[in-house]
Structure 1
């Protein structure tokens, strides 16, 4: 759902700014009057060889909201989810978080991973002992980084 949104809305103008640490570029668009915030890594880090990270893994969290954006409590839990997963998979050099989209009652994190199986093992490890998160995980082969490159070409 959010992938269709992500790729379908780039015909509109996106205002982007670099985050303070220049690791992330942030853009905001509107869909039916609702904001959608898109954050993407500005550049693939030099220590990442994209040819080794051939699997795109999307983690989706759906929520209810009149504004289309998560509540403060949901956003806090989303930050915990993102930090828990990305810090573990990146420290093990198994995956990299590339894009985060939040809006229209959905948040999605897109990672590129070396191995789907290893990523899922680390995901379970990162979330062990935490309150269950209302997420769905989808896995797909994307050796050309098409999802990321399509965003970067238009963003």
Structure 2
């Protein structure tokens, strides 16, 4: 972990729809090049939350949306407070919310996630960890949504 790096809270995002016309909201953090180039964040952790949709919007139903927001806030506090992990992108739609984190230590990040989970009832999430030292998935995400890192 490089404590000299500054984590800005600059996000780009938008709302659109997939090929079937289902609404999708995306956001990704800008100005992460220093974290990428440091080589200290080689692992991506994706957390997927399968939610019940509000039929009108295809987004999370209001009660579940509040729990999802509280979970995200707790994760940010647990993982980013010392820059152990960095939230890079979030996508919501089609009955799922996905957070993509880059971490300096996957085992430590999982322990922190487990600690957060103790504060919630059983959640409909899955967690996947992949090696992505060049942040290829992050750049692919940005390319899919027309931005630049």
- TM-score range (shorter-chain normalised) is 0.7 to 0.9
**Other-structure match for 1:96:** 86
Q: Partners of 1:124 and 1:49 in 2: how far apart?
A: 28
Q: TM-score, normalised by structure 2?
A: 0.82
Deviation at 1:92, TM superposition (A): 2.7
**Other-structure match for 2:3:** none
SS at match of 1:92: coil
Question: Are 1:60 and 2:48 matched, yes or no?
Answer: yes
**Other-structure match for 1:26:** 13
Corresponding residue pairs, total: 135
Q: Partners of 1:35 and 1:141 in 2: how far apart?
A: 30
**Other-structure match for 1:8:** none
Segment drifting more, 42-51 vs 28-37: 42-51
1:12-91 superposed matches below 5 A:
23-31=10-18, 32-44=20-32, 50-65=38-53, 66=55, 67-91=57-81
Q: TM-score, normalised by structure 1?
A: 0.79
Mark the runs of 5 or more structure 2 residues left unpaired by the alignment.
1-7
Deviations 1:91-150 (A, max 9, x none): 132100010000011110000011110110010112223222211001100000011112
Q: Partners of 2:28 and 2:10 in 1: how far apart?
A: 8
Mark the runs of 5 or more structure 1 residues left unpaired by the alignment.
1-20
Q: Which aligned runs of 4 or more in structure 1 are off by greater than 4 angstroms?
A: 45-50
Deviation at 1:49, TM superposition (A): 5.3
**Other-structure match for 2:4:** none
